Amino acid sequence: MTDNESLYRKRNLKNKVAMVLSCGATLFGLLWLVWILLTTVINGFKALNLRLFAEMTPPPGSSGGLANAFYGSAMMSGIALLIGTPIGLMAGIWLAEFARHSKLGAAVRFINDILLSAPSIVLGLFVYTVVILPLNSITNHQVGFSAIAGAIALALLVIPVVVRTTDEMLQLQPSTMREAALALGVPQWKLTLQIVLRAAKAGVVTGILLALARITGETAPLLFTAFGNQFWSSNLLKPIASVPVVIFQYAMSPFDDWHSLAWAGALILTLFVLCLSLLSRFILLRNRSV
């Protein structure tokens, strides 16, 4: 046996061992994921009914639905997108088009990456400190818990995701596109908004959808901001119900009816996030095929 053949067999053996270990680790991780999903689907489908979308959260020991929680989550998520998306888009455009190689841009990217990986409960506590406590001290009443405070906390989760995706998508656009537009006398603002941003719109929209998918299931920041409400409320300055908080509260309760509502809410959230992920994937694939 030559040295080359011996070296080849050693490398082939190491490759097979690494492949077996990698596949084993993947299957081990997927096992728990499939188990969680199957448990959610089985228990959630048992609790699905029309009352889930027509009735409000019930008192202890009673049956009901999650209509007010669905409304509260939708309203806070929508307001969070309205607040966070423009800020994230403007920051991402500035980083990609005007501060790509500057030290300030590098510092902003570093801070954005920290916010991107920061625990959501930290952002909830931040909003509680800078929004709710000052309001309570001014009015001498516990009025700071509100839908708008919950939306602000969720917006702080939206901004880093939109900034990162916008920055990355704009940087992927070829520089020849910018040079050609500038050579034709196109102003910088029109180049950025009507050419570069339009070319990257699929990736930017995908980032917004991923941000929505992230905030949909957030519980921790809402515990310190929106707090929760058993009744229907559309007042932005009052506490409001949300599906993640209701799931958290009902899952720990001793009542079987509440457990069923928690499983149903978890299934609805899972399916919603799945639909958002599929939609974002469809947008990207459609843009590549064009």
Task: Locate 263 and state its tokens.
Answer: 């499983």
Tell me: pLDDT of 140 over 70: no
d(CA 290, CA 288): 6
Tell me: pLDDT of 138 over 90: no
Q: Per the domain annotation, does 199 fall within a domain?
A: yes
Count structural domains, the chain.
1
Q: Per the domain annotation, does 212 fall within a domain?
A: yes
pLDDT tens digits, 213-224: 999 989 999 998
- pLDDT at position 141: 56
d(CA 138, CA 140): 6
> How many other CB atoms are found less than 10 A from the CB of residue 124?
26
CATH code for the domain in which residue 207 is found = 1.10.3720.10
Is 205:283 a contact under the CB 8 Å cutoff?
yes
Lowest mean pLDDT among 55-69, 76-90, 113-127: 55-69
Tell me: pLDDT of 284 over 60: yes
Q: What is the largest CA-CA distance in the chain?
A: 87
Residue 182 belongs to domain spanning = 51-289
DSSP letters of 167-190?
Answer: HHHHHTS-HHHHHHHHHTT--HHH
Q: Per the domain annotation, does 28 fall within a domain?
A: no
Name the percent of the chain lying above pLDDT 90.
45
The pLDDT mean for the chain works out to: 88
Picking from 218, 216, 203, 213, the residue whose alpha carbon sits closest to that of residue 276 is: 213
Q: Per the domain annotation, does 154 fall within a domain?
A: yes
Q: Per the domain annotation, does 217 fall within a domain?
A: yes
Name the percent of the chain lying above pLDDT 70.
95
DSSP letters of 196-207?
Answer: IHHHTHHHHHHH
Q: Per the domain annotation, does 165 fall within a domain?
A: yes
pLDDT band (50, 70, 90) for residue 9? confident
Tell me: pLDDT of 139 over 70: no
Task: Locate 6 and state its tokens.
Answer: 């011996």
- pLDDT at position 285: 77
- pLDDT at position 94: 93
> How many other CB atoms are found less than 10 A from the CB of residue 277?
14
d(CA 124, CA 226): 10
Q: Per the domain annotation, does 32 fall within a domain?
A: no
Task: Calculate the alpha carbon distances from 228 to 215, 223, 241 in Å.
Answer: 16, 7, 4
Q: Per the domain annotation, does 174 fall within a domain?
A: yes
pLDDT tens digits, 22-51: 999 999 999 999 999 999 999 999 888 888
Instruction: Count the residues in the chain.
Output: 290
d(CA 50, CA 66): 10
- pLDDT at position 199: 86
Task: Locate 32 and state its tokens.
Answer: 């728990």
Tell me: pLDDT of 131 over 90: no
- pLDDT at position 71: 94
Give the helix/strand (H/E) hosting 82: helix 67-97
Tell me: pLDDT of 156 over 90: yes
pLDDT tens digits, 51-76: 889 889 888 777 788 999 999 999 99
